[in-house]
Amino acid sequence: MAFKRLLDLSIIISNIRLDMVEKALVITAPIRSHLVPAMYVAEILRERYEFHFAVDGDVLKQIAERNGHKTRTMSSFRILVGMEPLFILQQKRSRPTKWRILKSVYKNEILSFRQRELAKCITEINPSVIFVDIFASTDFIVLFTKFSSAKVIFINPMLSTYRVNGYLSIDQSEWIAGTPAPRSEDNEFSFRDLVENPLQVLLNVVRNRQFQLLTARGGFSQKHPVAKNTVFVRLFKNIPELILAPLELEVSPLVRRENQFYLGLSIIANRQETEVDPLFVESFEKILRRKRQRESVLIYCAFGTYYTGSDRHLLDFVTRLVSATSSIDNAEVILSVNKLVADTLRAQNSLPKNISLFKGVPQLNVLKHADIFVTHGGLGSVKESIAHAVPLLVYPLDAEYDQPSNAFKVEFHRIGLRGVFRYERAVDMQRKIEQILNDSSFRDRIVNLKLDLERRYEKEKLLRIIETLI
């Protein structure tokens, strides 16, 4: 009997401990490069919180679950960001004419849909803190009106999206110190717009009216006015923002806003990878063996998940890159591209013996052995290169978002060079790769930066910051 009482007591204590673990919900953007750094916040708070990631598909679900987190499947529909055409097509099963879009905006169809989705998720999880990706920032308006008791914190997987006068902003690729930041675009329309496209003008008026009405509910606009001079996203004042990057990558620490908290490189060293080419597992040890035996350098080339098809521009670029790296003496090359580009390259060319082509690799593992990283300039790749002290050569693929700005900052901090994706010749690629490999100052600077960031962003320090915000 005594043993049974002791067993019952231990079960009760275990259940109490389980109840003490609070729940956290992460509302992600439907982008792999946003989900992966967000898991670093979960890593910091793992002892205190059980994390649930709201994802919109199997790829992100697999990544989160493979790394030990629970997931909730939700759509990626957001209010106030112009998603009505896709919503009408997918949810209403009808044609998104401008009149139909106008009706959808006027009736707040996405708002009603999103309220139901979030209500179901939050009721079942009961999180005490909700982390919202800045690309889903308008969800905060829904949360404010319906779930005001939950603590909300923005997470930003990029560098600062604010325009600060005199400094490079995240949508710029060139900068002269002291020049004014570009003005934010306004929503005014001209008489010519009204004559040429009256329905579009009417739609813009209704959208602006929708925004004003939704942000007026419950005193939202008084407590959380819209932040001015932001790029890519709408942000709101008086909400803390965790930036999943080091402040030291900005062009100046003066770009930091009062509500922003930089968390360093934000990389999980033992991250479990998905979508790895089976051929890589068989080949990697052979590549490393050849590297050791011949005392070769390892050139690693990868370009993120921006292009998923056999894009002509990417194919042309990779073909030039193959030509450039095949001419470099004593080099092993690992080239990671999407399946269609890989299949096309194999069909078109007999690849040189020093080049190994894969459809996906465990990047952190490859960077441990690399001497240079040729990349598209996504911030995740830049940070992971710094974490392994590998100098960079950056060719931005996407001119619309932060890759050109990241490329500038890599060169500004002298931890690598940058090039022009569409037009750079193979001979110029080769020259830049050899310059980085032969000039030890690039590696020295990135080593020093890595060590400095490790000191500045210790996990215990970051834990205290986040717990204070919560």
Q: Nearest CA to 163 among 251, 262, 33?
A: 251
| CA angle, residues 408, 418, 184, in degrees to nearest 5 | 30
Rounded Cα distance, 93 and 262, in Å: 43
Q: What is the predicted pLDDT for the residue at 175?
A: 86
Does residue 180 register a pLDDT over 70? no
Rounded Cα distance, 210 and 406, in Å: 35
Q: Nearest CA to 403 among 162, 37, 158?
A: 158
pLDDT digits (tens, 9 = 90+) for 36-83: 999 999 999 999 999 999 999 899 999 999 999 999 999 999 999 999
pLDDT digits (tens, 9 = 90+) for 338-384: 888 888 888 877 788 899 999 899 999 999 999 999 999 999 999 99
Q: What is the pTM of this model?
A: 0.90
Reduce the DSSP state of residue 309 to 3 states and report it. Answer: coil
| Token pair listed for 224 | 């959380």
Give the rounded percent of residues in the chain with a pLDDT score beyond 90.
71
Reduce the DSSP state of residue 230 to 3 states and report it. Answer: strand
Reduce the DSSP state of residue 26 to 3 states and report it. Answer: strand
Question: Domain 19-185+218-262, what fold?
Answer: Rossmann fold (3.40.50)
Superfamily of domain 278-455: Glycogen Phosphorylase B; (3.40.50.2000)
pLDDT digits (tens, 9 = 90+) for 391-412: 999 999 888 899 999 999 999 9
Domains 19-185+218-262 and 278-455 in one fold? yes
| CA angle, residues 250, 80, 62, in degrees to nearest 5 | 65
Reduce the DSSP state of residue 130 to 3 states and report it. Answer: strand
Rounded Cα distance, 376 and 368, in Å: 19
Which residue type occupies 248? Answer: E
Does residue 3 register a pLDDT over 60? no
What residue segments make up the domains of the chain, in order of their start? 19-185+218-262, 278-455
Rounded Cα distance, 307 and 99, in Å: 33
| Token pair listed for 435 | 């310059």
| Token pair listed for 153 | 């914190």
